[in-house]
Structure 1
Amino acid sequence: SGQRYGEDVHAFFARRKERNEQLAKMETSKMKQERLQREANAAQGAPPGKKGARVFIWEEEDNGFFIRRAMNRAMAANSWHEFTSNQRLYDGYHNQWDLCSALAPNEEPEGSDDEDGGTENHLADCEFPEFPDDVEDGELLDEPSYDPYHDMSQIPFGRFGFVEPITLASYNQRLDAKLSLRSLGDEQWSGLERARHTQLPSFLALLEKAKTIGEIPRELLDLRQEEAEISFESNWVIAVRQERLNGNVFYVLEPKLSPPQDFPLYILIPSAVTTLQVVRMGWGPDLQEVIYHLLQHGVEFRVCIRHSVGIEPIIPIPDRFTGLGYRRKGYKPTSADHGVYVEQREDFLRSPRGRAALFAGGIIGRLARLIVDESLASMGPSREVLTTGVRLWDGCSSAAYWDDNLTDQDIDLICGVYEIATGKSTTCAIRIIIHHRFQVVSTRRLTSDKRLRFLGGPSHMHLAFPG
């Protein structure tokens, strides 16, 4: 939810205000215009529709402390008038509503007092929620737990280049619905039932087995259609080129037109799929806008400067034990371990190199965004980049790309890894899964010692030994 451990209502909003002030400094004119439009729509006071803002409700615990929790839009619409206008706060930078009675504790919503204990005589005078036009039939019956972070309707085309064929066609291959939804990243999405996605399961099945794009039917994939917008590089709002750096392929993004700068920034993306998504979605032309969207989608990328090749930084010799250190055989994690982990993780993320975690994607990027101000993302690497960072070089140019870097030890610290002795000298592979009320995280393959990703605090562990 973005609320830190032990953080009260007023501290949360004060911290977010400071963060928004930093985001305002990196806003492009296009991003500002879109934000102002969102704020104008929110000023009408109506609950958000199907594609509207996310909603969070602050629930009061028995001790008087408020916990911020995500709320389904359908439930939000039903609860909207349980809060006064001063108890509903919209944040245009993050496109989020907060419903919190603590914002105006002395106010009561109209019609909340009912001294007679009945409501029938007052039904005619009650103001019921007015739902926006984009609320579709059946939406208010959705499961309250389903509240997708992204607009999933953009994923088939934006991420995969899927085009629904104009004419009816049949294909021999087709993924089942469950596997199709897993491929798209949301098992609860109802979009497969829509007419425009009829052939999407077939497209995903063909895409899975294809070795070249020529094996995908032309009518299903934009990359095979000469008339498609992506086929005209002149229409792209951002300049893209491919470079081989440190032996790996990267896609370098920069503005097509930009004023001279002492140290211009470059976005480096290791994934061709993500690069195509940037182009298809029209993110840009400013790098700040591209960075913003990449962070929101939790993908891996880098924001680099270009500098003389120099001397490649020396990678420090790793400690004997990684992450949070070593634990003896039979050790069981405690709440104190979790507290130490959170403190050490936040200390590192607030360090100059903590910025690099924003761009790692996945769970690392998600944890970093709880601590690291996103405005740092577009400010370039830290001052130590030439001595402690990573040099990305093609092997022949006089200049290279430089960026802050995370070591394996840094990653283990962020993810809460510590080593527990097994008492065995032989190699064994163990998968450790931690179940917690907030998150479920599985570890990577391990050898010799158990390496525990301790992200959510202790609850119970399940050890699965691969056969």
Structure 2
Amino acid sequence: QVAHPFMLEHYCPPADWVEMAKKTELEFSRVILLSEKNYVPREGAQPAPNYNKNYRTPQSSTPIAPWDPRRSPEHDLPNPHTSNTTPKNTYHSNSAASPTNVVPSGLENENVERAAIVNRGSGQKAYETWEEFAERMAAQAELIKTKESPREKQSRESREQYAAKSGWSNKSKVFVWEQDQFDKAFYRRTAIAQNAEVYEDLWYQTTPYQRRYWGHLNQWDVCPHLPNQPPGAKPILSEQELDDLEDDIYHLPMQPISTEFPKVTNEDVGPAMLQTVRAAFARGADLQIEEYHFPHASIIQYLRFRHGFDAEIGTWNPRCHSEGSHILNHDEGAVVVKKLLYEPIRTELSIQTSTAIVDFWNTALNLTPTLDSLPSAWDISPAAPEDIRLVCNRNIVACQRVFGKNNKDMFILLPGIRSQHQSEWFVATSDATTVLLVYRSNWGTMIEIARGLLELGIPFRTVIEMSKSKVPSTPWSYNSAGLGYRPSDFHFTEDDYLQYIYTRNQVLKSSYGRAVRMAGGITGRIAAEIVPEAEVLGGPVYCNEVIGKLGDVCYVDDKLDDESLDMVCGTYRITLKNAENSHSKTSLWPRYNQWFSTGLAGDQWSPRAEEFYQQRVRDFENGTFVLHNSKEWKIKYRFDVKPLSGVLASSQALASNFIRNSSLF
């Protein structure tokens, strides 16, 4: 009979096994006892082998009778591939966690060919080991290289370069080789559901020698069962092993290890030590920090200097307004103040000014504003009066546009040709509105610019020029564990808070502190309490990250790693209840990138953000500690982030167009 090809591939034994079974059946056909489901070899015949490691047959003393189409159904032997109790896809798991038992219930595991069971869509063949699979994939890759077009070759090489530098991507598929539960010598290729945290854990626990990328398939194979490094290879520690090193990234001095051990006593010193530690790290001790207050300007000054809009002129231009649910009426100025995060500052606005603020909001919400269509209240508009029109003196502060990350614009502010204040370092920003803010504020030196941006809580970088050949290699980048891993039932206490304060301050008092403060956002606000202004004004320390490029010239600054940011935000990796190998990043403060997706971020440190920060500090002082994961932070502080983001993006686009098209730059 002719079987379906799919059935032959997945549910029938290999052809050589069928041939061997036929020979066996011919040898013992006359002595098979069907009713006993056993056989008795004829006199002088060799008994069937009990185990053959080459064919991975089950270790069983009970032989299996060959199939006979004439026998009755009640004499049929149990078949794991045709069990009526077997749910669909029992043998082919494509989830992040493999099933604990891929054999249908009711069958003895020794009677099942474990190595014959592979996951559907994994690409692994029955009985195929990792070495055999890797050899087959390598041969397949070489064959495809000989047939691919130039465009396909370019795409593959781009994927391989990205994989070598950054690891997995959102479009790549990741497989892990898991040991079979019963056949410990067999490893099964299992697809991992796309989950960034699960991928991070896999990369965290393995070395490059345990990972293999197939560019022609855009697939990763992670093999935890392989050695960390082959014999004679250059040792590469996994990120998990790096965490176990006694030397931390801040190179703190360490006490020499003593070889003399104190005598064991029966004294209960635990309570006394805990009391001493609490006293040392009490809030009234050295950890107490002076409060820092941002000098917030009024909403009128914010619009004037940050966006170049003069609200005191009084303007209303419906022709520039778009249509949508976020468009406001002329008498809703207070609503705009709230949406711009300036509600905590009580400012009495005239009707004329309030109407102009709404006009700014509605105009900025227009997705296609152009410089020519801007009302005269904008200082970058061609129709702006002389007294408010933006003037950029590039002889004092010059602006150089270079290529930043992903070829996006990066603006370097440096002393102009007539400046009397030269500097060893310059200010860099990717925000066009920040560039125009510098010119509107008439800051004439690098120190004035850096101080002004620090006071406003605007992210920026301090850079120095360096030739491309002298740029140091980029430091290692690894997945952040923050303050460490905690179990699913972790409960944050005051002792944990004291430990967080100590660790946070160690980071901020190190050479990394200046980079954290310049990063802005919630981490920059926390750093403002610890990192003095002078640390920032001293310029870069390590110069190990390229911020922008122009020809053979690179602009470099200190690299700020995720580990430092997560420590400052009080981030823990909490084990998920239903998945022991997965973790949720839970933090005391919103994590750095998470902060900018909330409705509190804005384009600089706002009064609303300061109100949130002060309330959170008061909660900690009162012993109230509530941690949130990324999703909870986003939901809890979302507010009207969408329209605000649209307004800020529109202002950014206008400023960028002005810089590109103006003769002043």
Same fold (TM over 0.5): yes
Q: Hey, what's the Cα distance between the residues in 2 that align with 1:162 and 1:171?
A: 16
Q: Are 2:606 and 1:459 aligned?
A: no
What amino acid maps onto 1:154 in structure 2? Q
Counterpart amino acid of residue 156 in structure 1? L
Q: How far did 1:178 drift?
A: 4.9
**Equivalent position to 2:297, from 145, 150, 155:** 150
Contact 1:431–1:445 under 8 Å retained in 2? no
Q: Alpha carbons of 1:334 and 1:170: their partners in 2 closer, same or farther (altered >3 Å)?
A: same
Give the corresponding residue for 1:365.
Answer: 524
Number of the residue aligned with 1:379: 538
AA at the equivalent of 1:354? G
Aligned partner of 1:266 in structure 2 is 426
Report the alpha carbon displacement of residue 169 of structure 1 after superposing the two structures with TM.
4.4
Contact 2:493–2:625 under 8 Å retained in 1: no
1:63-462 equivalences under 5 Å are: 149-164=296-311, 169=316, 171=318, 173=321, 174-175=327-328, 176-191=332-347, 193-194=349-350, 195-214=352-371, 216-225=373-382, 227-228=385-386, 230-234=389-393, 237-246=396-405, 247-256=407-416, 257-258=418-419, 264-282=424-442, 284-309=443-468, 310-318=470-478, 322-382=481-541, 384-385=542-543, 389-394=544-549, 397-425=551-579, 457=620, 459-461=624-626
Q: Distance in 1 between matches of 2:546 and 2:391?
A: 33
Q: Conserved in 2, the CA contact under 8 Å of 1:270 and 1:300? A: no
In structure 1, what is the Cα distance between the partners aligned to 2:297 and 2:501? 28
SS at match of 1:207: helix
The 2-side partners of 1:164 and 1:317 are apart by 46
Q: State the Cα deviation string for residues 337-391 of structure 1 (Å, max 9, x = none).
A: 1111111111111112221112101211111121112012221111x32xxx211
Q: Deviations over 1:269-307 (max 9, x none)?
A: 11111221121122x211111111100000100111111
Offset, 1:238: 2.3
- Report SS of the residue matched to 1:313: coil
* Deviation at residue 266 of structure 1 after TM alignment: 0.8
Distance in 1 between residues matched to 2:313 and 2:292, nearest whole Å: 43
Distance change (3 Å), C-alpha of 1:169 and 1:184: closer
Per-residue CA distance 1:229-254 (angstroms, 9 max, x = gap):
55443488522232222323112111
CA deviation after TM superposition for structure 1 residue 417, in Å:
0.6
- Most deviating of 181-190 and 165-174: 165-174
**Deviations for 1:74-116, whole angstroms, at most 9, x for unmatched residues?**
xxxxxxxxxxxxxxxxxxxx9xxxxxxxxxxxxxxxxxxxxxx
Structure-2 residue corresponding to 1:89: none
- C-alpha distance in 2 between matches for 1:192 and 1:208: 25
2:315 touches 2:356 (CA, 8 Å); kept in 1?
no
Structure 2: stretches of 5+ with no match in the other structure: 1-281, 322-326, 596-612, 637-665
Contact persistence 1:230–1:280 (CA under 8 A): no
Letter in 2 for 1:391: V
Structure 1 distance, partners of 2:472, 2:450, is: 26
Contact 1:265 1:305 in 2 (8 A): yes
1:50-87 deviations in Å (ceiling 9; x for gaps): xxxxxxxxxxxxxxxxxx798xxxxxxxxxxxxxxxxx
CA distance in 2, matches of 1:289, 1:69: 19
Whether the 8 Å CA contact 2:509–2:530 is kept in 1: the answer is yes
* Structure richer in strand, relative to its length: 1
The secondary structure found in structure 2 opposite 1:250 is strand
Check whether the contact 1:181–1:189 (CA below 8 A) recurs between aligned residues: no
Task: Output the CA distance in 2 between the equivalents of 1:428 and 1:158.
Answer: 46
Task: Tell me the distance in 1 between the aligned counterparts of 2:317 and 2:393.
Answer: 34
Question: Take 1:338 and 1:426, find their aligned partners in 2: how far apart are those partners?
Answer: 25
Is 2:171 the counterpart of 1:6? no
Kindly tell me: are residues 329 and 250 of structure 1, through their superposed partners in 2, closer, same or farther at Cα, counting changes over 3 Å? same
Q: CA RMSD in A?
A: 4.0
Query: Does the C-alpha gap of structure 1 residues 431 and 216 become closer, same or farther in structure 2, counting only changes over 3 Å?
Result: farther
**1:206, 1:216 within 8 Å by CA — same for their partners in 2?**
no
Match in the other structure for 2:167: none
Q: Which digits, 9 at most, give the CA deviation of each residue in 1:106-153, with x for residues without a partner?
A: xxxxxxxxxxxxxxxxxxxxxxxxxxxxxxxxxxxxxxxxxx733443
- In structure 2, relative to structure 1, the CA distance for the partners of 1:266 and 1:444 (3 Å cut) is closer
The higher radius of gyration belongs to 2
Shift of 1:431: 9.7
Give the TM-score taking structure 2 as reference length.
0.42
